Amino acid sequence: MFVVGGESLIDLVPTGAGADAERVALAGGSPFNCAIALSRLGNDTGFLCPISQDEYGDLLLTPLAENGVAVLLKDRVAAPTTKAIVTFNDKMQASYVFERGADRAFTREGLLAALPEAVTLYQIGGFCPILEADAAVWRDVVDQAIARGATVSFDINVRDKLVDDEAGYRARLSQFLDRAHLVKLSEEDHEWLEPGKSIETHATELLERPNCALVVVTLGEHGSRAFSRAAHGSAPIHAPPVFGDTVGAGDSLMAGILTWLKDNDRLGQEPMAGLTNTELDAMLGFGAVVAGINCGRKGCQPPNRAEVDAVLAA
């Protein structure tokens, strides 16, 4: 099973321009989105995050059930659902202000008990390093997933508005990076983490960590790049016929990359380390189609495998 651990939340998305625009509530959160995208692409997927008893919790459970994602924590929690207030710039790129709640309502014992006995892939959520109390628990979960056979992926997804202790956050982030076999980051993550450093240098430094074998960097409208220990590759975006917005684009791309790696028997530290230029280009191209189809819709609505295959065939 592919297991995604981390936050789910409700995106409160404006329906028009201006500060007074009405907002619609949409199920979201990067790990939540990625879990749904993975399942739509044909992967056996579980989601490891507490779900609130409130009405927004109902809104989160519905798409998980509709898309066949296993909810690994069965008992719902009293804490209110975490919320993200979304705004868009003139390119329809989203930014977020967060109100945290149920995503933190877990215990170490509960998470470890919910983890499947066999884990093919474990993905770390971007909120996991933000607070020390949370990070200590999630590190144990990651270590247990590794002990159960998991390849570990980490979509860094820096949320600087939630970071009150930058030095502590960077230290905790580093501990998760040392556990990850695949690291994905956006150009904005890169610039926040390593201002003034080239992407190539940053990727090389990540690959020098104990377990990292593959680094993926997304560049917005300029596509994406990937670096293995053997090669590097790139791919442009897949532009949909009609553009919606970019919500969930990175999560969809990540799901596409993980699916490509599994389907091509390249999921794992050694196989990923040896990926060639041609393979990296193909991997990113597959992910770009998944992300591009999603961007043709409003909100995060990743494609299913048939939709992706149809675009690739054309």
- Evaluate if residue 206 carries a pLDDT over 90: yes
Q: Which range (173-177, 188-192, 218-222, 245-249) has the least confidence?
A: 245-249
pTM for the whole structure: 0.94
Closest by CA position to 159, among listed 131, 196, 181: 131
| DSSP string for 164-209 | S-HHHHHHHHHHHHTT-SEEEEEHHHHHHHSTT--HHHHHHHHHTS
CATH class of 2-7+30-51+64-75+106-313: alpha beta
Is it the case that residue 18 has pLDDT exceeding 90?
A: no
Confidence of residue 246 (pLDDT cuts 50, 70, 90): confident
Which pLDDT does position 74 carry in this prediction? 96
The residue written with tokens 């998760």 in the block is 176
CB neighbours (10 Å) of residue 159? 18
pLDDT in tens, 73-88: 999 999 999 998 877 7
Question: In 3D, which of 186, 135, 142 has the Cα closest to residue 163?
Answer: 135
DSSP three-state, residue 212: coil
| pLDDT over 80 (residue 96) | no
**Rounded-to-integer distance, Cα 114 and Cα 235, Å:** 37
In the prediction, which pLDDT does 17 show?
Answer: 66
Q: pLDDT tens digits, residue range 217-240?
A: 999 999 999 999 999 999 999 999
CA proximity to 183, closest of 96, 273, 116, 112: 273
Determine the angle formed by the axes of helices 132-147 and 166-177, rounding to 10 degrees.
Answer: 0
pLDDT confidence of 24, banded at 50, 70, 90? confident
Q: In the predicted model, is pLDDT for residue 274 greater than 90? A: yes
In the predicted structure, residue 94 carries a pLDDT above the cut 80: no
